[in-house]
Amino acid sequence: MGTTIEIASADGHKLAAYRAAPAGKARGAVVVIQEIFGVNSHIQSVADGYAADGYVAIAPAMYDRVKRDYETGYAPPDIEAGRAIMQQLDWTHTMHDVDAAVAQAKSAGKVAIVGFCWGGTVAWVAAARNAQLACAVAYYPGGIANFADEAPRCSVMCHFGEQDKSPTPEQAKAVMAKHPSVVAHFYPAGHGFNCDQRASHDSSSAALARTRTLHFLREQIG
């Protein structure tokens, strides 16, 4: 359904991105930020889903700075490898790449960012640092506690698992208490509950989170 494009960051780095477009006029755009597993088939299917709902969806290959064309599954060795790459990234370059994706998406209208796992943390940080975003949605952002003092500059919705350890519900609630304007939902699920390729997938929680996210996007970007 989608195609691979190339986008350029402010520092000259060029990265790939998966782009999916709606059949008709776009309601706006959604930048989809990967988990630690790259822009794999699941992230591509997420982007395709937003395109089916009327949005231009762009999923930048955030790991291209370390390893190009990286995508993997969800076995324990994949998790270890994904974390190792993530630890080689720095937040300045990561935000450059988000900014490039947002700039690419702007021709479709207002832009939202939706991120999962590590990408959820990226979405949270981007909400505080990128003034071009209309809204942000963070699914189980494992590193959010490290950025608790970053104040969102746009409307934000967060989805957390009550059985998650990254972040724990206690960590999530502590951050949310600092930012009462953020809409937070908790689900009877663990980490990665949205991903239908993971053992932790919870279909009812994923469906409810998606319904809430789409309603939020309708309100914020069209």
Would you call 191 a catalytic residue per the annotation? yes
What is the distance between the alpha carbons of residues 158 and 98, in angstroms, rounded to a whole number? 18
Rounded (10°) angle between helices 91-105 and 118-129: 80
Set 64, 99, 191, 202: catalytic member: 191
DSSP 53-85: TTEEEEEE-TTTTTSTT-B---SHHHHHHHHHH
Give the amino acid at 160.
F
Would you call 185 a catalytic residue per the annotation? no
Q: Do 45 and 35 touch, CB atoms closer than 8 A?
A: no
Set 42, 64, 117, 154: catalytic member: 117
Set 64, 97, 164, 202: catalytic member: 164
Would you call 164 a catalytic residue per the annotation? yes
What is the distance between the alpha carbons of residues 16 and 87, in angstroms, rounded to a whole number? 20
Pairing state between β 55-60 and 28-33: parallel
Catalytic residues: 117, 164, 191
